[in-house]
Amino acid sequence: MSDKKPYERFIEHMQNWVLGLPDSEELIPILELRLSPEEAEFLADMPFLPHSIEQLAELFGETVEELSAKLDPLAARGMVFRHDSKKTNFYALNDSLFALLRSPLWAGKRDETTRKLAPLANKYYLKAYAMEFSSYETQGLRAIPIEGTVEDTRQIVPYEDVVKVLENEEVFCTSTCPCRHRKNLDPDSTSCEHQTFNCLHFGRLARYMIRNKMGKEITRGEMMDILKAAADEGLVHGISNSKHGMDTICNCCSCCCLFTESKKKLGLHGHQPSNYVLSINADTCEACGLCVDRCPMDALDMGEESPELTRDLCIGCGVCAHKCPTESLKLTLRDGEQDFPEDFREMGMRMAMERGRNPFKT
């Protein structure tokens, strides 16, 4: 068996899941930084859906102790997700985005391995991996309006209200933005001037990240302060694209975020838009141009008396409205409410089926 064979098996296995691993010369070098050949061979048989350690021990023909010794280090590195219940532990193979472009960068490390990974990941994304986002209807992240930017607050549903989303959560953490970190570590990329320690997580994912030192535990108040600072800075709140069970709010810049980058550089699908779109009151607008400068999607141009909106580019984030000095910009409901997935299971099912894959095959 050649050294590449285990990685090729792992790649073939990942092609069955929500986000595959399209071929590129950077792919094997990235995997070699993340996995040994033995680990790649092992994970090529690892289920994507959660299984208890007892179920996995039977599947792999090993004892619980032997298997835990393999799985826990992989969970600590972000290749496998571990969730603990009162009776047992559950494990699942993480999707390719989580394993290669998120978890190895959350901790903000600047060691030799991470410095090697960053430029490879940047090239791989633009050359091949971005096609996994393409123009499929369902994306993993959607824009959620900045607090106070929706005109009629009575119309805001709970899953598009950033305050209500966090209302019932108990565990919170923040981490380094993986998109900005890989750009800042890449000598061939332009460094980003935005804050980097503002990728936010809560619930089960926060517990996982805190346990594995990928993020820092914070309070609910600290999370709200970070959201406010990000909004002031002109960053897009991007939340897990479901109505229930969300676990992440990214604060995305237009220069580094893989969702905005795929849209602006490659013309592919970016953030899933919110159910809101910008409305402009031309009577009170002073044509200062601040909104044009702040719009992350270049959806606004300055007309003779007020800004003009390209509606198809507006993702309903509220970045422009948040700082409007005359409050002439507000978000209003789009025509026809989008049908967001109910939870992660449905989101994964939709994403896989749109890509011609069976989400429950493995």
pLDDT tens, position by position, 186-223 = 999 989 999 999 999 999 999 999 999 999 999 999 99
Tokens found for residue 47: 């289920």
Give the pLDDT confidence score for residue 1 in this predicted structure. 44
Is residue 108 domain-resident?
no
Is residue 309 domain-resident?
yes
Least confident of 33-42, 130-139, 167-176, 306-315: 130-139
Residue type, 186: D
**Residue 362: which pLDDT band, with cuts at 50, 70 and 90?**
low
**Residue 270: which pLDDT band, with cuts at 50, 70 and 90?**
confident
Query: For the chain, what is the mean pLDDT?
Result: 94
What does the alpha-carbon distance between residue 94 and residue 41 come to, in Å, rounded to a whole number?
15
Is residue 110 domain-resident?
no
Give the pLDDT confidence score for residue 296 in this predicted structure. 93
Strands (E), 50-205: 51-52, 80-84, 89-93, 141-143, 172-175, 199-202
SS3 track for 107-132: CCCCCHHHHHHHHHHHHHHHHCHHHH
By DSSP bridging, strand 141-143 and strand 236-240 are antiparallel
Let me know whether 45 and 170 are in one domain: no
The yes-or-no verdict on residue 277 having pLDDT over 80 is yes
Let me know whether 138 and 278 are in one domain: yes
Q: Where are the alpha helices (DSSP H) in the chain?
A: 5-14, 27-34, 37-43, 53-60, 64-76, 96, 112-127, 162-167, 178-184, 203-211, 220-233, 258-266, 290-294, 319-322, 344-354
The CATH number given to whatever domain includes residue 43 is 1.10.10.10
pLDDT digits (tens, 9 = 90+) for 230-265: 999 999 999 999 999 999 999 999 999 988 887 877
Let me know whether 74 and 150 are in one domain: no
pLDDT digits (tens, 9 = 90+) for 103-119: 999 999 999 999 999 99
Is residue 105 domain-resident?
no
DSSP 34: H
Tokens found for residue 128: 């091949």
Domain count, the chain: 2
Let me know whether 330 and 262 are in one domain: yes
Is residue 243 domain-resident?
yes
Contact 242, 144 (CB under 8 A): no
Let me know whether 81 and 162 are in one domain: no
Q: How far is CA 286 from the centre of its chain?
A: 36
The yes-or-no verdict on residue 23 having pLDDT over 60 is yes
Point out the domain boundary residue: 50, 78, 95: 95
The yes-or-no verdict on residue 160 having pLDDT over 70 is yes
| CA-based max dimension of the chain | 73
Give the pLDDT confidence score for residue 328 in this predicted structure. 96
Let me know whether 65 and 192 are in one domain: no
Give the range of the structural domain holding residue 85, as residue numbers without chain letter.
5-95
Is residue 119 domain-resident?
no
Give the pLDDT confidence score for residue 120 in this predicted structure. 98
Let me know whether 186 and 51 are in one domain: no
Percent of the chain with pLDDT over 70: 98
User: H or E stretch including 277?
Assistant: strand 276-280
